[in-house]
Amino acid sequence: MAKTSELEAAYQAGTYRLFLPGGGCELRVGVVSETLRCWLETADANSFAILTAHNPGSRLSDPDENTQRQAQLECDLLELGYEPYAGENVAADDNWPAEESCFVPGISVAEASALGERYGQNAIICGGADGLPELVWLDNA
C-alpha cells in the first residue's frame, strides 16, 4: 500500500510496546519516552529501531506467514550482531491485529531501513539516544 494520509495517521496513532530487561514501556511517534531514554543510556546505545515482518505493504497476511517472516527477521538481526528485544505494535483501532515486533538498540537508520524494505514494510520507527521515536517512510512505500 502506498503512503497515504490515512496510513500515516494509523502509524502515528499506534502504540509501540517494548518488553525490555527491567521492565517495558509504550512509545508513541513524536513523543519522547524518558523511560526509553534512560534505558538507552544504561545500554550505551545511541540509536534504535522498531521492526516487524508482519503484514507486508500494510496488507493483512496469513498469521502463519507472519510468524515465519518474523522468525526470519529475528534470525537476520542476530546474524548481523544485534540483540533484538520483543515488542508489539498495537493499532489505535480494533480492525487491525497487534503485530509482533523487534526493538533493536544500536542499529542505524540505514540498516533498519534496508531490513524494513527487505520485509516489505512501508515504514519503520527509529530514534536516537534522546528516546524520541520517529516514523521513517521506506522507498517501497
The per-residue pLDDT for 2 is 57
- CA-closest candidate to residue 55, choices 94, 19, 89: 89
Non-local CB neighbours of 79 within 8 Å, separated by 6+ positions: none
Taking the chain (141 residues) in runs of 10, the rounded mean pLDDT of each run is 77 95 94 96 97 94 96 98 97 90 98 97 97 92 55
The per-residue pLDDT for 88 is 97
The per-residue pLDDT for 141 is 55
DSSP 21: T
The H or E element that residue 85 is part of is strand 85-90
Q: How many CA atoms does the CB half-sphere of 4 hold within 13 Å?
A: 7
- pTM for the whole thing? 0.94
CA distance 56 to 35: 30
